[in-house]
Structure 1
């Protein structure tokens, strides 16, 4: 009787252990791995050649005195005060005037102007007489010579007087104006001011020779600077050297940058991204979602709660994303987080 009881007890224990193991097995089979997914839609992708450098103005001029004279800094009509650093100036605007009464008198401008008028009247008179036979060809030629000499003498005097009015050579901004006390004598050759135009900037870049086939004239360039975190300025390739430097294995190019908002300043260090290739309406995925294996690259997609491993072929890529040429299609649900522990046909729980 005792033996029967022991046998029954053992069977009950065995049944309880078996039931417990089956319950744990069922729990294990129901575990779902949490993942996040994104639905694949057609996108564009671009590849850039990145480089850095310092920008400089496309036009600048240091203006020096061509004469000796008394220094007179002119008033800027836009500010009501003497011209100063940072002032915008127009081409031909008088910035500084040099005064020298003795020099002006020696030009004899009024006398030369009167002499020109007399010689012109005499020439016209001689032409009229020549047509009527009143003067010889020699007399007419002499009148022409007198007129030409008077004309050149007057024009040269005007040119010399114009040097007393120092003007902006082009529209731009004053970036340097050495201090000179108003009323002091300035010697010939002294620098008076410097003007820059930086609505268009330039940058010299040297690129590895492997990029030579990818770089063309007028190619789009995106410009960024650490001071302009939210702004991207556009430029283009304006010049390309066909020669490869034998020491650095690079070729030189010049970037022209549209800086009409004047967000950049000459001398700034910038980053330039040259657009070398672009594709539109293609499948693009984040690079971090790809698992690299010996037999190729794979990603995971989800359908009906099951993760499926997909082998892919990739194409164009940049720093963040990559193009998928084969293995995925539009509207696939790509696993973007939680894929590290997945296996093919793993059960998943999609969380957003």
Structure 2
């Protein structure tokens, strides 16, 4: 009986100690259980902005005035008098072909001209002295003029000239090359003003009006752009391509752009004023609904939004957001409604940045 009482007493002591231990440790465990995780995020404060919807067209730049020089006979290239970038004047010789070659006929026509010139000078003197008749003098003069015309024609075949003032933008042959009739040998263009011809489909031609401003960007080099203006819009489509030709004139006073460059033309399709935009990745889609996390009192509050237009990585918010709200733009994937956050960096719609 005594042993039973002892065992009962010992059991009561153990039970009391367990209750006491549980009572002492419970608050600590409770504290650990309710400790919240703080999630660092970046945010953007919303303000109204104006945005433009643009459409891009591509084409090749050329001089406002441009001349492609072509060979007229089959002959070897004897000399190139210019290099790319040289300024030239109209009628200046830029390339010389072999004058002694079989196709040129230059030396023969020159010899005939020189003889005709000597004879004409002699006959003019004799006519002035009354030694020959007027018809004899007229015959010598005609012979001289024909010989001179033939010589000039033969010289133009071997001395290739530019028909316009401008800059040599390309040399397409080398000394010693044998050119063929019609082969392009050089290009001369004015480069202070350039033009760009576009072939525009019927669905897009309404975006262009004469005088409209156009943004021009080099396809091969980023960061360089110029401003152009629509100079001509065709009233009817080309029957072969079914496109409308649009000509854009470009101020190239910086001379960065060169004829022959491939470029992009951006035109304004529509303008939107006083709208709210956020980076597109900031918008989350859950259960077929779009959400943003808005920062309120140090917490992330999920707000359902309605999206509008998109502008190169930005999305218009038509409802669900107010001017002055701060939305989470980085870290939103780790948030749930009511998450405790720490704002590490704040940007503004206009691009100003503040770090916290």
Q: Which residue of 2 aligns with 1:61?
A: 68
Equivalent residue runs for 1:87-166 within 5 Å: 87-93=86-92, 95=94, 100=110, 102-103=112-113, 106=116
Runs of 4+ that moved beyond 6 A: 71-74, 96-99, 154-163, 189-192, 244-250
SS of aligned partner of 2:19: helix
Q: Which of 279, 284, 302 matches 2:277?
A: 284
Q: Which residue of 1 aligns with 2:256?
A: 263
Question: What TM-score do you get using the length of structure 2 for normalisation?
Answer: 0.64
- For residue 334 of structure 1, report the CA deviation from its aligned partner: 1.8
Structure 2: where are the runs of 5+ without partners?
A: 1-8, 97-105, 125-143, 346-356
Q: Which of 328, 333, 336 matches 1:343?
A: 336
Structure 1: where are the runs of 5+ without partners?
A: 75-81, 115-153, 182-188
Q: Which residue of 2 aligns with 1:21?
A: 29
Q: Which residue of 1 aligns with 2:140?
A: none
Post-superposition Cα deviations, 1:83-136, rounded to whole Å, max 9, x if no partner, equal: 34442212344557988364366479x98xx9xxxxxxxxxxxxxxxxxxxxxx
Residue 242 and residue 327 in structure 1: after superposition, are their counterparts in 2 closer, same or farther (change >3 A)? farther
Is 1:307 the counterpart of 2:300 in the alignment?
A: yes
Q: Which of 32, 40, 54 matches 1:34?
A: 40
Q: Which residue of 1 aligns with 2:318?
A: 325
**Bigger Cα displacement from structure 2, 10-19 vs 189-198:** 189-198
Q: Which of 37, 44, 50 matches 1:44?
A: 50
SS of aligned partner of 1:324: strand
Aligned partners of 2:169 and 2:189 also within 8 Å? no
CA RMSD of aligned residues (A): 4.7
Question: What TM-score do you get using the length of structure 1 for normalisation?
Answer: 0.64
- For residue 335 of structure 1, report the CA deviation from its aligned partner: 0.9
CA distance in 1, matches of 2:300, 2:318: 21
Is 1:196 the counterpart of 2:188 in the alignment?
A: yes
Aligned partners of 2:44 and 2:326 also within 8 Å? yes
Residue 160 and residue 336 in structure 1: after superposition, are their counterparts in 2 closer, same or farther (change >3 A)? same
- For residue 350 of structure 1, report the CA deviation from its aligned partner: 1.3
Q: Which residue of 2 aligns with 1:221?
A: 215
Q: Which residue of 1 aligns with 2:162?
A: 168
Q: Which of 4, 19, 28 matches 2:12?
A: 4
CA distance in 2, matches of 1:155, 1:39: 84
- For residue 34 of structure 1, report the CA deviation from its aligned partner: 1.5
